[in-house]
Structure 1
Amino acid sequence: MIGLIDAHSHATDAHFVWQQKELSIRSVINAENPTHLAELTRWQTPLISGGIHPWHTDTATTAMMTQLIAQTPVTGEIGLDTVWTKVPLATQLPWFKRQLDMADALQHPVIIHTKGAELLTAHLLQQHPGPFLIHWYSALTGLDQFLALPTYFSIGPDLMTDVAVQQVLRKVPLSRLLVESDGLESIYWATGQHQDYHETLLALYQQVAAVKHVSVSVVMKQLAINFEKFLHPVD
């Protein structure tokens, strides 16, 4: 049986990792820092991503960056943000570029965070092979620039209320779509309620199916294919 995909998530405790396993949900769980990476490893997390988040570039070190990226198979989430952080873009930029270069060298797929700097982010990605997962894209502009790149897009849990996320679902082909929770805290942030994790993901699948005029079964099969292609682009 094909399980659900939660393309990008965050775990604050071992129970969430266990829950994903029990529900047969495949996910890339983000390591926030080297200490968190060690915890995720101890919790036997199947798939971990690592990198310096743009919000944390003002306190990052080269050693942290190197450990997070070198010891995980997926780089991210990395990117640029001028909306949800006070860290200057001038501080974020060199870290973003260095991490993209390191991901290239290791042939890693990359998870991208972009908010308020979408056009600049897309421009910089043109210089790199990818593939990229543009996580929870929520801008009304810039989508076409990302579609011209080797990208996948994950739909976040605010699909029913955010017109920009709805636009992503309408415009991006099913062959390049994924869904994500961004972790339990993000589900609460997006919905204002403590929602059941599995039901939240399943509802996203159902909404994707409705918009794309296919069955949920077709969405499940295609998103599983997309996830594998993102993780293993040369296979």
Structure 2
Amino acid sequence: MEQQNFGSAWHLVDAHIHLDKYTKSEQQQIIDEMEQYGVESLITVSYDIESSKENLTLHREHNNIKAAFGFHPEQQVLNNEAMQELRAFIDLHHHDMIAIGEVGLPYYTRKENPDLRIEPYLEILEQFIILAKRYDKPIVLHAIYEDAGVVCDLLEKNKIKKAHFHWYKGDTRTIERMIRNGYFISITPDVLYETEIQQVVKQYPLAQMMVETDGPWPFTGPFAGEMTHPQMIHQSIETIAKIKGLEIAKVYGQLLWNTKQFYCI
């Protein structure tokens, strides 16, 4: 897409990025180029307590960076002391927090280690769900394939409505359940070349969809060798519009509205 298209009708929000995981120079490049590429806001999710602290600093330095606090599940489970520290941080800074996240279940870690006990991760996830409910914040979820159904059980149990399943992959039955519950998903740049993601776009309503990079996670296809940058989302939106058979301006407008309404930006 040509740069001259990045006018007021072509704005976007990167709904899921790990901005703290970029180098300082990469962070500055992305921040400096947001206006150029029509990026209104970045929602930067956290990996652990230190990540949450870094994202809080980024938010306080830049109003268009919105911080979510949480614990990424694809790592060793938090012990009680570490969980209490993170909960205390969230309690103290919930006014600066746009969402709880990234939280969820360790799908890939369990694939590598089938003997890993899931129960401690479920207990921690439910604590985060309760925090999201307490502070009336959305929750950003790492939950794919069979894990998504388990997470849906916990969300339904706790009557959570504002759930964002980032980079979702899974079966049609779970997709239908998520749609009924009003949950949102976000689409990554691999929609350009991954048929699995393209199929999710076909199935999921545009009205419950957002777009993301999950940067600095690297992509292949047309993005091979490139630093993951929010400007890649323009190509994602172009592809979503083609899959949906909709005018691209309508898709831009809907995705932007979805994200700003969901996150109260």
Specify if TM > 0.5.
Answer: yes
For 2:205 and 2:260, locate their aligned partners in 1 and report how far apart those are by CA, in whole Å.
Answer: 16
- Residue 123 in structure 1 maps to residue 131 in structure 2: no
Tell me the equivalent position of 2:42. Answer: 27
Query: Normalized against structure 2, the TM-score is what?
Result: 0.78
In the TM superposition, residue 218 of structure 1 has moved relative to its aligned partner by: 1.0
The residue type paired with residue 34 of structure 2 is: Q
User: In the alignment, is the contact (CA less than 8 A) between 1:140 and 1:167 conserved in 2?
Assistant: no
- What's the CA shift for 1:94? 0.2
Do the aligned partners of residues 189 and 216 (structure 1) sit closer, same or farther apart at CA in structure 2, a change above 3 Å counting? closer
Flag structure 2 segments of 5+ consecutive residues without an equivalent.
1-7
Structure 1 distance, partners of 2:161, 2:92, is 17
Query: Aligned ranges for residues 200-211 of structure 1 at < 5 Å?
Result: 200-211=232-243
Q: Structure 1 residues 68, 188: CA separation in 2 closer, same or farther (over 3 Å shift)?
A: farther
Distance 1:226 1:211, change over 3 A: same
> 1:186/1:130 Cα in 2 relative to 1: closer, same or farther (>3 Å)?
farther
Structure 1 residues 154 and 64, CA gap change in structure 2 (3 angstroms): same
3-state SS, counterpart of residue 77 of structure 2: coil
Deviations 1:156-190 (A, max 9, x none): 12213333322210011111111110013243699
Quote the residue 2:74 is aligned against: 55
Query: Residue 17 and residue 89 in structure 1: after superposition, are their counterparts in 2 closer, same or farther (change >3 A)?
Result: farther
Does the CA contact (< 8 Å) of 2:142 and 2:166 recur in 1?
Answer: yes
Letter in 1 for 2:72: H
Distance in 2 (CA, whole Å) between partners of 1:212 and 1:10 is 28
Between stretches 175-184 and 57-66, larger displacement belongs to: 57-66
Task: State the distance in 2 between where 1:144 and 1:190 align.
Answer: 31
Higher alpha-carbon deviation: 139-148 or 165-174: 139-148
**Preserved CA contact (<8 Å) 1:78 1:99:** yes
Q: Which residue of 150, 156, 167 corresponds with 2:188?
A: 156
The answer on whether the counterparts of 2:198 and 2:243 sit within 8 Å (CA) in structure 1 is no
CA contact (8 A) 1:49 1:74 kept: yes
**Corresponding position of 2:170:** 139
- State the structure with more CA Rg: 2
**Number of residue pairs matched?**
233
Preserved contact between residue 206 and residue 254 of structure 2 (Cα < 8 Å): yes
Q: CA deviation at 1:226?
A: 0.2
1:106 equivalenced with 2:135 (yes/no): yes
Question: Residues of 2 paired with 1:54 and 1:138: CA distance?
Answer: 17
Alpha-carbon shift at residue 33 of structure 1 (Å): 2.8
CA–CA distance in structure 1, aligned partners of residues 100 and 263 of structure 2: 11
CA displacement at 1:225 relative to structure 2: 0.9
**What value does the CA root-mean-square deviation take over the aligned residues?**
2.5
Q: How far apart, in 2, do the equivalents of 1:69 and 1:166 lie?
A: 39
Residues 215, 228 of structure 2: 8 Å contact kept: no
| In the alignment, structure 1 residue 78 sits paired with structure 2 residue 103 | yes
Tell me, what secondary structure is at the counterpart of 2:143?
strand
Structure 2 CA distance, aligned partners of 1:158 and 1:123?
Answer: 28
Instruction: Provide the C-alpha distance between the structure 2 equivalents of 1:222 and 1:147, rounded to a whole number of angstroms.
Output: 17
2:12 paired with 1:4: yes
Q: Which amino acid aligns with 1:151?
A: Y
Any idea what SS the aligned residue of 2:149 has? helix
Shift of 1:195: 5.5
TM-score (norm 1): 0.87
Give the C-alpha shift of residue 21 in structure 1.
5.2
**Which residue is equivalent to 2:202?**
170
